Amino acid sequence: MKVVELGSYGATDQLQIAERPEPAATPGRVLVRVAAAPVNPVDLAIRAGALAGLLGDVSFPLELGWEFAGRVLADEGSFTAGQRVAGVLPWFATRSGTYAEVISVDPSWLAPIPDGIDDVTASAVPLNALTARQALDALALSPGATLLVTGASGAVGGYAVQLATAAGLHVMAVASTDDEAYVAALGAKEVFGRPESAAELARAALEVAPDGVDAVFDPAGLGGALIGAVRAGGGFATPVARAVPTAERDIRVVNVRVSPEAGQIGELLQAAAAGTISPRIAGTLPLAEAAIAHARAGATRGKLVLI
Ligand SMILES: NC(=O)c1ccc[n+]([C@@H]2O[C@H](COP(=O)([O-])OP(=O)(O)OC[C@H]3O[C@@H](n4cnc5c(N)ncnc54)[C@H](OP(=O)(O)O)[C@@H]3O)[C@@H](O)[C@H]2O)c1
């Protein structure tokens, strides 16, 4: 099978297509022929070596890629050959990736793709919608509560706006330049332009909610002074470990780390099929062009997906 290998930490030219034997069938694991594998910021960070300290000893070549959609290759448990599935790997534990033609997956990391949603669209749900879902669960806000979401033009933030709106929260969100209409259409009641700093955004939010918002979800990783936008006793969640603010005024600060959970992945795929959440796809590229996808990924609105 074809697989994209990362030869060493570095630039995009470290990504090379290679041939390898397919993973062997193992009891209790689902073999999946991958149809679509999105490129995510974490893949770029791993490739560049930005997470080398966290990863410690690694043996190259590495495989990248956290999420996927594809078809089950052989019956296993409740999964049947030919069934369409999508899921997410706990990559930091597996250190094997989805930029490959065939992968071996634990059944708790994937769920069936419902009718009405194609493979490319489904592939862009598990990692980032699950992160948004688990952040909102951690914040445990009641309907009517105010939530400020950063990075709402991006995947995690965009899903958070949609899921929070569907849950009856009053959402304020930060859009990228000239992307305000897109973020408003996701359900945000107030849309802020891209701020110069976390402090500037906190000030803008306090003009709308003088007592502070009930919570902030910060996938843009602004951190720091943005906690000033939260009311005393509120919540602050971020999926960006380097941008966890210091807790103050009894605000609960949570560093969200996505955890594959088949039931939630299934619910989110259903939500995508029903149109409650809409994955943002910038385009597709062949698996062999992973290096080109990495070169373009930082500049797109929406995910590039390897097919
Ligand atoms: N901990 C976990 O389990 C977990 C899981 C999934 C994702 N993540 C992390 O979550 C983050 C978001 O992921 P994603 O897939 O949503 O990324 P994405 O699609 O690239 O979106 C990131 C968004 O943040 C915005 N942003 C970045 N820097 C900003 C700044 N200084 N001010 C305002 N906006 C800024 C970007 O706006 P522009 O386009 O204008 O730059 C973009 O809209 C990444 O760091 C990712 O690694 C963590």
Residue-wise pLDDT tens digits, 207-243 = 999 999 999 999 999 999 999 999 999 999 999 999 9
Tell me if 84 sits within 8 A of 69, measured CB to CB: yes
Residue-wise pLDDT tens digits, 108-156 = 999 999 999 999 999 999 999 999 999 999 999 999 999 999 999 999 9
pTM: 0.98
Q: How far apart, in whole angstroms, are the C-alpha atoms of residue 72 and residue 276? A: 26
The residues, any chain, with a CB within 8 Å of residue 115's CB and separated by 6 or more, are 273
Is the predicted pLDDT of residue 298 greater than 90, yes or no? no
Q: How far is the CA of 39 from the centre of ligand 1 (A)?
A: 13
Q: Rounded to whole angstroms, what are the CA distances from 71 to 81, 103, 113, 187?
A: 7, 10, 10, 33
Residue in 47, 156, 186, 303 to alter for ligand 1 test, most ligand atoms within 8 A of Cβ: 156
Which protein residues touch ligand 1 with a CB less than 6 Å away? 40-42, 127-128, 131, 150-151, 153-157, 174, 176, 194, 219-222, 239-240, 256-258
Tell me if 272 sits within 8 A of 129, measured CB to CB: yes
Burial class (CB in 10 A: 0-12, 13-18, 19+), 132: buried
The atom of ligand 1 lying closest to the CA of 158 is 16
